[in-house]
């Protein structure tokens, strides 16, 4: 037995409870080994890259269920869908309007198609230290200032469950005759019960990408790409799906998507009704907490927050002696609760319809106990709040050119005023602090150091310790880089 396989079995048999993706929460027992139905494109089982039979019917039925023109099964995750959508609606060198808090897959698409991004920063929710939504006004301004933009892409909901006003944004974008792509990876459950926000599909987005594995009972890597539009060249999106999706798609994963959708059709109310009630009870009892706070509907209507996903339990430690990382570790080590992620002043517990009542009770009781200990031991030393606000980038060159520039290595502290050759991001969630071609500022250096000091995972750099960064050589910069390239601050 391999070490990894052995470790997975040990973990599965332990009492650690998963407040993280995948959404099946290891709470499905069909008694069938995945090896028994792991096949290839044999007779009678169709071909995902040329669907004519059972897969064609399955995806058509999925489109009917979601109310789309076309729905595609993805076995390479939402990443594959984002790459295909962006490359499918743009030509090489096009300009696109991008929410700065988009996933790194969006930036990889920008690189691959040599696109010129114009960024819109999300607003910021100071009381919880999390990003807010993308305002329709910012989208409108960005389009007015850049009439040559070919597409708009935003993330809604965010990792923290913040939903932007997709309907208004779609109306603004469509007046320009261009498509809106929404990364709804964390919102595959939207629109399936009145207790959750409306899906971007029903809000007017042209292309919507959802990770069914994140919040629904489906295996990791499974996702959907939806098209509901009369301005998207469907064949171009399909062409890129053939490029970015594996030529040997897993029937285990495809059947997982199919079974998930079938379960939603037949047992959706049975799955969601008790789940929503359990979440409501937990939030009702939040008043028992004195120091810990759960982000709730008090943030809706401000900072471009149009709605909020209650499935994301954002536990804030802002103003206490804790950091998000400390809360995360304590939940894991003392209570055997594995949270999804930690950031500067908060940690996230991801829930799904497959969570048990006992699991949610364990989470809440752990919060009550930690909150009580904060009160009893009276640690008056409060940590300095760590901002998660995404800095507005100063773009000196596009990502593709910057990536292929001559470089040298520098200590991050000595790189202020230089141009980055690398991405810097926290993972999760995977949104860049810095991208290739952007100016390294004192603010960015401080942010990186703050994240490291808080025990957060700073990734993207060739140096895994995040001490050094590759920068563009001065001589190359003077001779080769575009003069006057400038990021629109909106």
Q: pLDDT tens digits, residue range 259-271?
A: 999 999 999 999 9
Q: Does residue 489 carry a pLDDT above 50?
A: no
The pLDDT of residue 486 is 44
d(CA 343, CA 428): 9
Q: Tell me which residue range forms the domain holding 145.
A: 34-261
Residues 95 and 183 in one domain: yes
Asked if residue 4 is part of any domain, the answer here is no
* Average pLDDT across the chain, whole number: 93
What is the pLDDT averaged over residues 354-367?
97
Domain with residue 58: its CATH number is 3.40.640.10
Q: Is the pLDDT of residue 481 over 90?
A: no
What confidence score (pLDDT) does residue 332 get?
98
Q: Is there a contact between 30 and 36 (Cβ–Cβ < 8 Å)?
A: no
- 179 and 240 part of one domain: yes
- The answer to whether position 2 is within a domain reads no
Residues 189 and 74 both lie in one domain: yes
Sign of CA dihedral 56, 229, 118, 91: positive
Question: Which residues neighbour 252 within 8 Å (Cβ) at sequence distance 6 or greater?
Answer: 34, 37, 38, 219
Q: Does one domain contain both 180 and 196?
A: yes
pTM of the model: 0.95
The pLDDT of residue 80: 98
Number of domains in the chain: 3
Give pLDDT, residue 488. Answer: 45
In a domain, 216, yes or no: yes
* pLDDT score of 245: 98
Q: Evaluate whether residue 203 is within a structural domain.
A: yes
Do 320 and 204 share a domain, yes or no? no
**Single residue among 261, 287, 308 that ends a domain in this structure:** 261
């Amino acid at each position: 037995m391999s070490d990894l396989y052995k470790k997975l079995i040990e973990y599965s048999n332990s009492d650690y409870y998963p407040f993280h993706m995948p959404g099946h929460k290891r709470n499905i027992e069909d008694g069938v080994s995945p090896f028994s139905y792991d096949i290839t494109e044999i007779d009678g089982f169709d071909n995902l890259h040329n669907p004519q039979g059972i897969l064609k019917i399955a995806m058509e039925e999925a489109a009917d269920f979601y109310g789309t023109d076309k729905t595609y099964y993805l076995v390479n995750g939402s990443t594959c869908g984002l790459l295909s959508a962006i490359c499918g609606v743009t030509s090489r060198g096009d300009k696109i309007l991008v929410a700065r808090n988009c996933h790194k897959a969006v930036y990889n698409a920008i690189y691959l198609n040599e696109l010129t991004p114009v960024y819109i920063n999300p607003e910021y929710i100071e009381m919880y230290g999390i990003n807010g939504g993308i305002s329709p006004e910012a989208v409108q301004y960005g389009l007015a200032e850049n009439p040559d933009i070919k597409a708009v892409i935003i993330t809604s909901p965010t990792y923290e469950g913040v939903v932007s006003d997709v309907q208004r944004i779609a109306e603004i974008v469509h007046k320009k005759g261009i498509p809106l792509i929404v990364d709804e990876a964390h919102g595959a459950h939207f629109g399936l019960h009145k207790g959750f926000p409306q899906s971007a599909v029903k809000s007017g987005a042209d292309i919507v990408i959802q990770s069914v594995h994140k919040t629904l009972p489906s295996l990791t890597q499974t996702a959907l790409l939806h098209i509901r539009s009369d301005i998207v060249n469907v064949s171009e999106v399909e062409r890129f799906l053939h490029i970015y999706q594996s030529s040997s798609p897993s029937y285990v994963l495809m059947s997982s998507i199919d079974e998930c959708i079938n379960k939603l059709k037949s047992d959706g109310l049975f799955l969601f009704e008790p789940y929503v009630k359990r979440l409501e009870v937990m939030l009702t009892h939040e008043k028992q907490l004195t120091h810990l706070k759960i982000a709730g509907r008090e943030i809706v209507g401000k900072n471009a927050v149009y709605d909020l996903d209650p499935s994301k339990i954002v536990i804030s430690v802002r103003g206490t002696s804790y950091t998000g990382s400390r809360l995360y570790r304590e939940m894991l080590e003392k209570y055997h609760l594995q949270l999804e992620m930690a950031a500067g002043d908060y940690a996230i517990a991801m829930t799904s319809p497959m969570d048990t009542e006992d699991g949610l009770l364990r989470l809440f009781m752990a919060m009550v106990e930690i909150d009580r200990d904060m009160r009893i031991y009276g640690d008056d030393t409060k940590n300095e709040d760590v901002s998660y606000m995404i800095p507005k980038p100063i773009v000196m060159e596009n990502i593709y050119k910057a990536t292929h520039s001559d470089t040298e290595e520098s200590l991050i502290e000595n790189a202020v005023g230089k141009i980055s050759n690398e991405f810097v991001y926290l993972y999760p969630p995977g949104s860049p602090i810095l991208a290739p071609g952007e100016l390294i500022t004192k603010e960015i250096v401080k942010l990186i150091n703050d994240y490291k000091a808080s025990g957060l995972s700073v990734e993207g750099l060739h140096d895994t310790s995040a001490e050094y960064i590759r920068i563009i050589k001065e001589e190359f910069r003077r001779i080769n880089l575009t003069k006057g390239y400038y990021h629109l601050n909106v």
